[in-house]
Amino acid sequence: MPKQSKSSRNWKTWLKSFWRDWRAFFIFVILMLIFRSAIADWNHVPSGSMEPGILEGDRLVVDKIAYDVRWPFTLRRIARWEHPARGDIVTFPSPKSRDLLIKRVVAVPGDTVQLVRNRLIINGISAEYYPLTSEEVSTIPLHNRNDYHFMYEELLGDRRVVMWAKRRLPDHASWSFGPYTVPDGTYFMMGDNRDRSSDSRAIGFIERRRVIGRAHTVAFSLDLDRYFVPRPRRFFKELL
């Protein structure tokens, strides 16, 4: 049997030493990636589509076992125990791009959804809208909040704050659409910022298999317009 060269023995010795010293770190990284892929994660918010409740620079805690459990790094389900409900804030990969989106479920399979000049109508029931008080508006951490209307939207037992611009452009598609019936196995998603959201109005119905998890809390937040200064008041803020 041929003898191993000295360089080969040194290489194997180095590999054994490297693995002994670093294996705990690599195992930790692998387990952390599996945990973030299949159980829970924190997602960066890159746009203002869910303002005013969710801001650019927020980091959201996403429960990835809220509805089911998936094989890590895939959309394949191992088990399923619940479905998204109206009003849930969910994450899903866009069917039009590689972006991970965060939107609100406004209509579930079988629902008829319609928007008439920004008034949402589900199954023939029209949402009620109430303006926020001036004091409530003053607490919204948006630099251009005077350019928007902020309204409580109440519909089918769910309540959230939505917004749209005071000065509308003629091509704003958010004024009216529908009625559409949501097909089986799909959902109609919308952003709370009705003028700045690439949602089901643009990308269509979202398949159930694409829903990754439910966002429920702001872990922490950085103000992107002020050199990433932390927003302490948003830390651990529950989403509505």
pLDDT tens digits, one per residue of 89-129: 999 999 988 888 999 999 999 999 999 988 999 999 999 99
90 and 106 in contact (C-beta within 8 Å)?
A: no
Label residue 36 exposed, middle or buried (CB < 10 Å: 0-12, 13-18, 19+): middle
pLDDT tens digits, one per residue of 29-76: 665 666 556 555 667 787 889 999 999 889 898 988 889 888 887 888
Classify 209 as helix, strand or coil. Answer: helix
pTM exceeds cut of 0.75: yes
What are the CA-CA distances from residue 195 to residues 67, 111, 201, 209 (Å)? 29, 23, 11, 27
pLDDT for the residue 65: 87
How many residues belong to the chain?
240
**Please, what's the b/e burial string for 135-149 (b: 16 or more CB within 10 A of its CB; e: otherwise)?**
eebeebebeeeeebe
145 closest CA partner among 131, 163, 170, 169 = 163
Mean pLDDT (the chain) is 85
| pLDDT grade for 188, boundaries at 50, 70 and 90 | very high
Q: Which segments of 88-181 does DSSP mark as H helices, in order? A: 134-138
More confident residue, 22 or 199: 199
Average pLDDT over residues 181-188: 97
Handedness of CA 143, 146, 147, 150 (dihedral sign): positive
pLDDT for the residue 166: 84
Share of the chain above pLDDT 70, in %: 82
Q: Is the peptide bond before 170 cis (omega within 30 degrees of 0)?
A: no
The number of angstroms, rounded, from the C-alpha of 3 to the middle of its chain's C-alpha atoms is: 59
